[in-house]
Amino acid sequence: MTETASYSGGCHCGCVRYEVETDLAAVMSCNCSICQKRGALLTFLPTGQFTLLSGEEGLTDYQFNQKIVHHLFCGTCGVGSFARGRAPDGSEMVAVNVRCLDDVDPAALTVRPFDGRSL
């Protein structure tokens, strides 16, 4: 998948819903402590390519280590479908768990490993 398209996604119970614009060309599997335990496959977007449609009031924020990424998860079902933070250049970004996008087959994607454990 290399063409930019609109995708809908969200948590398991449907409380958190959003839309993203992405090409899914850069999907990564990170081995840091939280990504490994969650099994997340991530793609990173500028905030302008992410629209939270519902569920903001039900999100819980979890931060650890340097506390620069807001790992947001649904307070009802516990699924962490996206996070907010800053890119290395300081710009705001959203990390979306591709496994939480509707009608996307992770097996059809090119997934690159990222050694987040070493950071």
3-state secondary structure 56-117: HHHEEEECCCCCCCEEEEECCCCCCCEEEEECCCCCEEEEEEHHHECCCCHHHCCEEEECHH
Q: What is the CATH number of the domain that holds 64?
A: 2.170.150.70
In a domain, 118, yes or no: no
> What pLDDT shows up at residue 1?
54
Residues 55 and 12: their CA atoms lie apart, in Å, by: 12
In a domain, 60, yes or no: yes
* Residue 111, pLDDT above cutoff 60: yes
> What pLDDT shows up at residue 95?
96
In a domain, 107, yes or no: yes
Our count of domains for the chain comes to 1
pLDDT of 37-47, one tens digit each? 999 999 999 99
In a domain, 69, yes or no: yes
In a domain, 31, yes or no: yes
In a domain, 84, yes or no: yes
Look up the domain containing 28 and give its range.
Answer: 5-113
In a domain, 76, yes or no: yes
Question: Stretch 112-118: mean pLDDT, rounded?
Answer: 89
In a domain, 119, yes or no: no
